[in-house]
Structure 1
Amino acid sequence: MSLPRIAVDAMGGDEGVRVMVEGAAIARRRHEQFKFLLVGDQTRIEAALQAHPNLRASSEIRHTEDVITGEDRPSQALRRAKTTSMGQAIAAVKSGDAGAAISAGNTGALMAISKLTLRTMPGIDRPALAALIPTLGDNDVVMLDLGANTECDTRNLVQFAIMGAAYARVMTGREAPRLRLLNIGTEEIKGTDLLRDAAQILKEAADDLSIEFDGFTEADKLCRGDVDVVVTDGFSGNIALKAVEGTARFVGDLLRRSFSSSLRSKVGFLISKPATELLKHHLDPNNHNGGVFLGLNGIVVKSHGSASAAGVAHAVAVAARLLEENVTVRITADLARVGEKSLGMRRQQEARA
């Protein structure tokens, strides 16, 4: 299958050109139909491509030396969007020169430029950052919002649920994703009015949205694998995500310390090495890399700034999967399907006030 090419901000991330180009090369070796638009300093990109002739044959370079740094504020990034590698990668999606854009650069800047350049889809007030979190189940869990919107109302949460469910269908293959709202308890009386209103709307619209909605979940159950989509505001979501990532690092460091504490522990490590390697693979963030800005008129994928080349390749695969499955079309269809059940939430809030 022929796919639109993927624009890569080659200058973003902690290590920049080398890792971004190598990641694209890994993705290209795995999927020969992938084509790329590499945006950044042409001299540095061409030097990195010398080790990857297969990628060079399937790529075009768009030169720019201007780079958005991690210290740049979103307002500063917006003023330089037309001249920077990040801005030009996103502009390529708007113009149709690329089907999706990937960057490992400044998250706030990426969101600001993406929203200004691509605009939100009809029926979506705000885009949300979604990512996959590893679980004990057969599938990862889709979680959103993870930091794009620190304050959300009921309407936003319902829209996030619609977008998250569409994304989960693509990534998990489950036609009716199991969806819950993140809360401080599972009882119906827990949480804010906004959460309870969103829960009521989703409960009434579950059949129209083709979701299995079962109310609330708590943060300690995120990784159990009994839910496919967890919806929350960006403030709570970002805290929860970092807590999960920190716990994963803690477990890994604790195991390394334990296995090196004595000769008996080292022998135990050798015996249990297959199991620890499996754990390491499961917890490695590079194997889950690739957050997605859902709700835009185009696909933008955010790679971790510290991602390895393998992690960048995973983010490329996420972008390609979303292109193949036309996720934006799916979201539009779901918004239309729910109709007044989602649009009527404002009237409910006004009546309560």
Structure 2
Amino acid sequence: MSLPRIAIDAMGGDEGVRVMVSGAALARRRHEQFKFLLVGDEARISKALEAHPNMREASEILHCEDVVAGDEKPSRALRRAKTTSMGLAIQAVKDGKCGAAVSGGNTGALMAMSKLALRTMPGIDRPALAALMPTLEEHDVIMLDLGANTECDARNLVQFAVMGAAYSRIVCANDAPRVRLLNIGTEDTKGTEKLQDASHFLREATGLAMRFEGYVEADKINRGDVDVVVTDGFSGNIALKAIEGSARFVTDLLKTAFRSSIRSKIGFLISRPATELLRHHLDPNNHNGGVFLGLNGVIVKSHGSANAQGVANAVAVAARLLEDDLTTRIAADLAALDDGALKANGTTTAQGQQ
């Protein structure tokens, strides 16, 4: 299999060059066809490459010393898009020099730069940030939007559902993903008007490669009963952080409990295989790689705190989306979406049709 190069923002993330290069090297040890454009300080990247001989022939370095700070406002970062490692990685995708870009840097800046450089696909009003999360079942669940758009109307939610389903078909091998809208209840009468409008439209739509199953409450997201959860960026970001915080709480609670007495420590040794499985399942590095869906190009957001394993997973996500041509799949699904009612008024009035 031949893939386009993947641009790596080597300066992004909490630890920058060392982890980003190590992650790319780990990904290439698993998939020798991967090739990279490493964007950042050439001296630091070259030094990091000394520990990874497998990367030398597969990588080109694009020198850049300017970095987007983690707390930098997107508006300020945009003005420096042509001089920062993040901006140049995205530009490489726009210019066709790379098929995808991976960055662990400032999420807001990455979205702003990506949207300005790549623009949204025809038929998509706003891009959305989607990510994989673990469930009780063997498969992961995809959730979007996770912070790119704080306010969304019904039309946006319908488009997110189409993009999320296409993403699920690629990374989770679901021919007809189960899609639900995040809501405060599962009854048809619950939620805001925009949720009811989006639900009504998705129930009536035909020809979509998904199974729309109504609403899901936040406590059911990780049960394994849904493949794609759709929401606005404000609610999605809160839900994501609540889930991640709960996972860390449970992990820390178990650590405290096992250290509380000699008997508990013995119990830990006996149950260690199970606790290691739990730790592995909850480790965000094993599910790393958020994707900005709806752009004319593949941009993958890695956790800023990701280790080499996490970065390798993010690179693998980018490669998988290139291999299966995500943008073409989304375009085909949008062509099957008859959203005339949404175009007419921005929403369909579900209440008015009851």
1:223 alignment partner in structure 2: 222
Query: CA offset at residue 211 of structure 1?
Result: 1.1
The 3-state SS of whatever aligns with 2:56 is: helix
Aligned ranges 1:82-97 → 2 under 5 Å:
82-97=82-97
Q: Which amino acid aligns with 1:270?
A: L
Determine the C-alpha separation between the residues in 2 that align with 1:351 and 1:219.
25
- Alignment-derived partner of residue 158 in structure 2: 158
For the 8 Å contact 2:87–2:113, the answer to whether it is kept is yes
Q: 1:57 & 1:343 partners in 2: Cα distance?
A: 51
Residue number in structure 2 paired with 1:4: 4
Amino-acid identity (%): 72
* TM-score of the superposed pair, with normalisation by structure 1: 0.98
Q: Give, in whole Å, the separation in 2 of the partners of 1:158 and 1:9.
A: 32
Report how far residue 347 of structure 1 moved.
2.8
| SS of equivalent to 1:209 | coil
Further displaced range: 64-73 or 181-190: 64-73
Q: Does 1:168 align with 2:168?
A: yes
Alignment match, 1:270: 269
The gaps in structure 1 that reach 5 residues or longer are none
Equivalences for residues 141-220 of structure 1 within 5 A:
141-205=141-205, 207-220=206-219
How many correspondences in the alignment?
350
Do residues 286 (structure 1) and 285 (structure 2) align? yes
Structure 2 Cα separation of the partners of residues 69 and 41 of structure 1: 15
Aligned residue in 2 for 1:317: 316
Structure 2 distance, partners of 1:132, 1:60, is 30
Q: Does 1:344 align with 2:341?
A: yes
Return the TM-score normalized by structure 2.
0.97
C-alpha distance in 1 between matches for 2:275 and 2:346 = 51
User: Aligned equivalents of 1:279 and 1:288: distance in 2?
Assistant: 14
Question: Which runs of at least 4 in structure 1 moved beyond 4 Å after TM superposition?
Answer: 348-353
CA distance, structure 1, for counterparts of residue 109 and residue 345 of structure 2: 35
Aligned partners of 2:184 and 2:217 also within 8 Å = yes
How has the CA–CA distance of structure 1 residues 345 and 112 changed in structure 2, closer, same or farther, with 3 Å as cutoff?
A: same
Please tell me the residue identity of whatever aligns with 1:103: S
Cα deviations by residue, 1:90-130 (Å, 9 ceiling, x for unpaired): 00000010000000000000000000000000000000000
- Secondary structure at 2:190 match in 1: coil
For structure 2, the residue ranges without an aligned partner over 5 or more in a row are: none
Q: How big is each residue's C-alpha offset from its partner over 1:227-248, in whole Å with a ceiling of 9 and x where there is no partner?
A: 0000000000000000000000
**Distance change >3 Å, CA 99–CA 266, structure 1 → 2:** same
**d(CA) in 2 for partners of 1:39, 1:115:** 19
Per the alignment, residue 234 of structure 1 pairs with 233
Give yes or no for contact 2:184–2:191 (8 Å, CA) kept in 1. yes
Q: Whole-Å Cα distance in 1 between the matches of residues 194 and 80 of structure 2?
A: 37
**Counterpart code for 1:105:** G
Maintained 8 Å contact 2:104/2:301? yes
Residues in 1 aligned to 2:344 and 2:10: alpha-carbon distance in whole angstroms:
46
Q: How many Å apart are 1:71 and its aligned residue?
A: 2.0
For 1:26-41, what aligned pairs fall within 5 Å after superposition?
26-41=26-41
Superposed, which structure 2 residues align to 1:61-80 within 5 Å? 61-80=61-80
1:30-70: CA deviation from partner (whole Å, max 9, x where unpaired): 00000000000000000000001111110000001010001
Shift of 1:217: 0.4
Higher helix share: 1
Note closer, same or farther for the CA distance 1:150–1:183 as it changes in structure 2 (3 Å cut): same
CA distance in 2 between counterparts of 1:218 and 1:306 reads 29
Determine the C-alpha separation between the residues in 1 that align with 2:190 and 2:318: 37
